[in-house]
């Protein structure tokens, strides 16, 4: 008999402390029917890994959340890297791999470390501080946008947008409609933001073999930028 679970993976309770729920789903079986949403779920490593490696059976281009892009219009343009299958995913990943390669990141290490030390020193001098508001949010909103060339104006929208983008993978519940998503309306008016080609080997366009557009301009899609801020927004 197919295991059935009442677990809601998009609830505040689940996101606040997911590990007991993960354990319950693993214990239930290799594939579990989530009664609340009428979907299948897998929580064991072997099945999850097999699913992620088999894009032809378990595609990403139809969406990686509850929405099926083949049956409904997505609320935003699909992500070029997350919600894509080969050959588009392969091409896009090749571009990102070059821009975000280990060699490119190594060149930024000195700046990242310097900014981290300076921030920590300032906080230590204060004696007390909020670990989320004064550290966890401040640091990535500084070093990452600087690295990709984003202007200072509007950076405060990245965290609420990342939060909304993550919550949009699930149902339109209270997390999706929370007030912090309001500033994202302005952000979503833009498909991309221009960035300085700081991570490229040189100025100009990045040419990609086999790219029908012949080149990719040094711009950063707002979805890719905001993705870096999704995980800290879970709680």
In the chain, what percentage of residues exceed pLDDT 70? 76
pLDDT tens by residue, 179-196: 655 555 544 444 344 443
Q: Flag whether 87 is in a domain.
A: no
How many domains would you assign to the chain?
Answer: 2
Instruction: Clarify whether residues 36 and 146 are in a common domain.
Output: no
Please, what is the end-to-end C-alpha distance for the chain in angstroms? 35
Instruction: Clarify whether residues 118 and 207 are in a common domain.
Output: yes
User: Which residues, in sequence order, are CB contacts of 228 under 8 Å at separation 6+?
Assistant: 140, 144, 162
In the chain, what percentage of residues exceed pLDDT 90? 46
With 50 as the cut, is the pLDDT of residue 21 above it? yes
CA–CA separation, 78 and 61 (whole Å): 8
Please report which confidence band the pLDDT of residue 204 belongs to, taking 50, 70 and 90 as the band edges. very low
With 50 as the cut, is the pLDDT of residue 90 above it? yes
CA–CA separation, 41 and 37 (whole Å): 11
5 pairs with which residues across the strands? 34
CA–CA separation, 200 and 80 (whole Å): 19
Phi, psi of 34 (to 5 degrees): -85, 105
Lowest mean pLDDT of 64-73, 107-116, 146-155, name the range: 146-155
Instruction: Clarify whether residues 47 and 125 are in a common domain.
Output: no
Q: Flag whether 70 is in a domain.
A: no
Q: Flag whether 83 is in a domain.
A: no
Instruction: Clarify whether residues 43 and 114 are in a common domain.
Output: no
Residue 219: give the domain boundaries: 94-233
- Count of other CB atoms within 10 angstroms of residue 225: 21
Instruction: Clarify whether residues 29 and 126 are in a common domain.
Output: no
- Give the per-residue pLDDT at 182: 54
Q: Flag whether 119 is in a domain.
A: yes
Q: Which two tokens stand for residue 172?
A: 């339109």
Angle between helices 138-148 and 158-167 (to 10 degrees): 100
Q: Flag whether 76 is in a domain.
A: no
Instruction: Clarify whether residues 125 and 219 are in a common domain.
Output: yes
Which uninterrupted H or E stretch holds 192?
Answer: strand 192-194
Q: Does 198 or 95 have the greater pLDDT score?
A: 95
Instruction: Clarify whether residues 214 and 110 are in a common domain.
Output: yes
**Global confidence as pTM:** 0.66
Q: Flag whether 74 is in a domain.
A: no
């Amino acid at each position: 008999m197919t295991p059935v679970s009442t677990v809601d993976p998009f609830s505040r309770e689940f996101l606040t402390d997911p590990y007991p729920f993960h354990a319950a789903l693993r214990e239930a079986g290799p594939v579990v029917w989530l009664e609340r949403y009428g979907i299948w779920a897998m929580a064991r490593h072997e099945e999850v890994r097999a699913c992620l490696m088999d894009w032809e059976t378990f595609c990403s281009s139809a969406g990686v959340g509850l929405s099926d892009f083949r049956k409904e219009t997505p609320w935003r343009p699909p992500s070029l890297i997350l919600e894509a299958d080969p050959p588009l995913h392969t091409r896009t990943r090749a571009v990102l791999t070059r821009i975000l390669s280990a060699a490119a990141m190594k060149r930024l290490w000195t700046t990242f470390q310097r900014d981290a030390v300076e921030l920590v020193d300032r906080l230590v001098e204060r004696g007390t501080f909020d670990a989320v508001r004064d550290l966890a949010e401040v640091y990535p909103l500084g070093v990452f946008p600087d690295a990709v060339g984003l202007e200072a104006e509007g950076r405060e929208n990245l965290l609420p947008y990342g939060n909304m983008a993550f919550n949009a993978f699930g149902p339109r519940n209270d997390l999706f409609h929370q007030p912090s998503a309001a500033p994202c309306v302005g952000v979503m008016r833009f498909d991309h933001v221009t960035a300085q080609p700081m991570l490229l080997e040189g100025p100009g366009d990045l040419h990609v073999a086999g790219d029908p557009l012949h080149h990719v301009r040094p711009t950063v899609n707002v979805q890719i930028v905001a993705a870096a801020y999704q995980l800290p927004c879970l709680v």
